[in-house]
Chain A
């Protein structure tokens, strides 16, 4: 079984401040990890992924995420948040050993960046 937890329903930050969105995962084997962003009335947009290699992965719009195997975490970060980063963020996991390519999503974290 695989699952994702996003412990914070909402994150509020001021523009220009660092942004962190937390994610922890559970898989029976090794994970593939993903972050997606959803703007109002839009589908999910892919931000970044961890497949293998360097634990720090960089993605779109200045976002990055760090894979921490010992803590089973994959937190999303941005050094300086913009008002336009306000959206709903989803973390997702797939067990690397599975053959069905099924993603399990967290419940989402709403990010609000105030001017």
Chain B
């Protein structure tokens, strides 16, 4: 079974530029999560999708961050404009709808904003 795929793996941009990350979850997983992991901290949930609907986006800075999951499969997370404090690893995770338990994580995208 293929795991969660993410791209790009690394991205360096200047502040005020825009950037987009892509995630392809495990096949059949209805729930998809985006996390932000700042160096030295645990992952923090940004947004959760169930199929193509948003379940929780209370921690998403909506003035600059947006996310979508068209067709309930792949998802993109966008930042526009980026700030220095957005430098972090962005992790995508997915979970099967019949499992209440563990989430499966992708390798992450390391974003550096200069």
Choose from A49, A102, A107 the contact partner of B45 (Cβ within 8 Å).
Answer: A102
Q: Looking at chain B, what size class is its interface with the partner chain?
A: 20 to 34
CA distance A1 to B104 in the complex (A): 23
Residue numbers in A under 8 Å from B91 (CB-CB): 43-44
Q: Looking at the complex, which of B35-43, B60-68, B76-84 is the stretch in contact with chain A?
A: B35-43
Residue numbers in B under 8 Å from A102 (CB-CB): 45, 48, 56
Q: A90-B42, A101-B95, A108-B41 are in contact. Are A32 and B100 (CB under 8 A)?
A: yes
Residue numbers in B under 8 Å from A11 (CB-CB): none
Q: Looking at chain A, what size class is its interface with the partner chain?
A: 20 to 34
Choose from A41, A42, A44, A51 the contact partner of B43 (Cβ within 8 Å).
Answer: A44
CA distance A83 to B4 in the complex (A): 27
- Measured between C-beta atoms, what is the minimum distance from A52 to chain B in Å? 11
Residue numbers in B under 8 Å from A32 (CB-CB): 100-101
CA distance A46 to B95 in the complex (A): 12
The answer, yes or no, to whether B108 is at the interface (CB within 8 Å) is: yes
- Measured between C-beta atoms, what is the minimum distance from A92 to chain B in Å? 8
The answer, yes or no, to whether B102 is at the interface (CB within 8 Å) is: yes
Choose from A36, A46, A101, A107 the contact partner of B100 (Cβ within 8 Å).
Answer: A101
Residue numbers in B under 8 Å from A44 (CB-CB): 43, 91, 93, 105
The answer, yes or no, to whether A67 is at the interface (CB within 8 Å) is: no
Residue numbers in B under 8 Å from A36 (CB-CB): 105
A1-43, CB < 8 A from B: 4, 32, 34, 36, 41-43
The answer, yes or no, to whether B12 is at the interface (CB within 8 Å) is: no
Residue numbers in B under 8 Å from A105 (CB-CB): 42-44
By beta carbon, the residue of chain A nearest B95 is: A101
Residue positions of A touching B, CB distance < 8 A = 4, 32, 34, 36, 41-46, 49, 51, 90, 92, 100-103, 105-108
- Residue pairs across A and B with Cβ atoms less than 8 A apart, 13 shown, are A43-B4, A43-B106, A43-B108, A44-B43, A46-B104, A90-B42, A92-B42, A100-B56, A101-B100, A103-B103, A107-B41, A108-B40, A108-B42
